Amino acid sequence: MTNIFCFSILANFLLAMLCTNMIISVSAGWMQAHATFYGGSDASGTMGGACGYGDLYTDGYKTNTAALSTALFNDGKSCGGCYQMVCDATKVPQWCLKGKWITITATNFCPPNYALPNDDGGWCNPPRPHFDMAQPAFETIAIYRAGIVPVLYRKVGCRRSGGMRFTMNGRDYFELVLISNVGGAGDLSQVWIKGSKSNKWETMSRNWGANWQSLTYLNGQSLSFKIQASNGKIKTAIDVVPSYWQFGQSFKTNINF
């Protein structure tokens, strides 16, 4: 544990040095994109969104979030994933905050605007990789007046507090389950559900964003979930939803990646 902690400190120190000296290279695993911001200074306008998360504080993401362009959103498969970002001070040193970086979670979709050119307002048009960040997150790495800045980013693991959260929506024969506060890879590739009256795991399908659906009548049963992250790792949460569950309720487990 001590070695892991020391390695984490060293990694963060090296990242700070890279940012300060502006020598991060794309070949070192970083990719190029641009970032803007939305949602207001309190990020109230970022709640909800195309991933299906409601209150981003309740769902574990707070204000370190972003809406992803089509090139990154991947039809919702990127929801919950984490990205480490720095403002590219080699290009706009006057707008970047020196030595600052942030890890954000993908919680929304930034739609294209084909009425505007890709390099003048149509920032989220394909094939551009773009992050429309919550304003407080943007102001962690860049100055508000910049409006838009070039950034370097990379996919990283997500650190969450507590276990995964399962919110039951839908109706009879249509369980729509929002899975949030997922650690590790953060984004999910497959989910299975099992009622207490069955011995078989049923494969769920992605309905939209972070919402997964089952078309089985599961009322009055405790529910277990098997969750596979995009990196292939699997966690199982047994009887996380009690048999007295109702639509609209949320349940947390102590299980996470």
CATH classification at residue 141: 2.40.40.10
Q: How far does the chain reach from its first CA to its final CA, in angstroms?
A: 17
Structural domain of residue 247, as residue ranges?
165-252
What is residue 58's predicted lDDT score, i.e. its pLDDT?
Answer: 85
Domain count of the chain?
Answer: 2
Note whether residue 257 is domain-resident: no
What is residue 59's predicted lDDT score, i.e. its pLDDT?
Answer: 83
Out of 92, 123, 156, pick the residue that ends a domain. 156
Q: Where do the H-state alpha helices sit in 93-223?
A: 135-141
Out of 88, 121, 156, pick the residue that ends a domain. 156
Q: Establish how many alpha carbons lie within 13 A of residue 82's alpha carbon, considering only the half-sphere containing its beta carbon.
A: 21
- For residue 30, give every residue at least 6 positions away whose Cβ sits within 8 Å of its Cβ, in sequence order, or none: 24, 86, 152, 153, 154
Give burial (CB, 10 Å; 0-12/13-18/19+) of 46.
buried
CA distance 20 to 15: 9
Note whether residue 101 is domain-resident: yes
- For residue 84, give every residue at least 6 positions away whose Cβ sits within 8 Å of its Cβ, in sequence order, or none: 15, 101, 102, 103, 153, 154, 156
Query: What does the pLDDT look like over 168-222, one tens digit per residue?
Result: 999 999 999 999 999 999 999 999 999 999 999 999 999 999 999 999 999 999 9
Q: Are 218 and 136 within one domain? A: no
Using the predicted structure, report yes or no on whether residue 16 has a pLDDT greater than 90.
Answer: no
* The model's pTM: 0.88
The pair of structure tokens assigned to 167 is 């919110």
Q: How confident is the model at residue 43 (pLDDT cuts 50, 70, 90)?
A: very high
CA distance 250 to 168: 6
Q: Are 124 and 240 within one domain? A: no
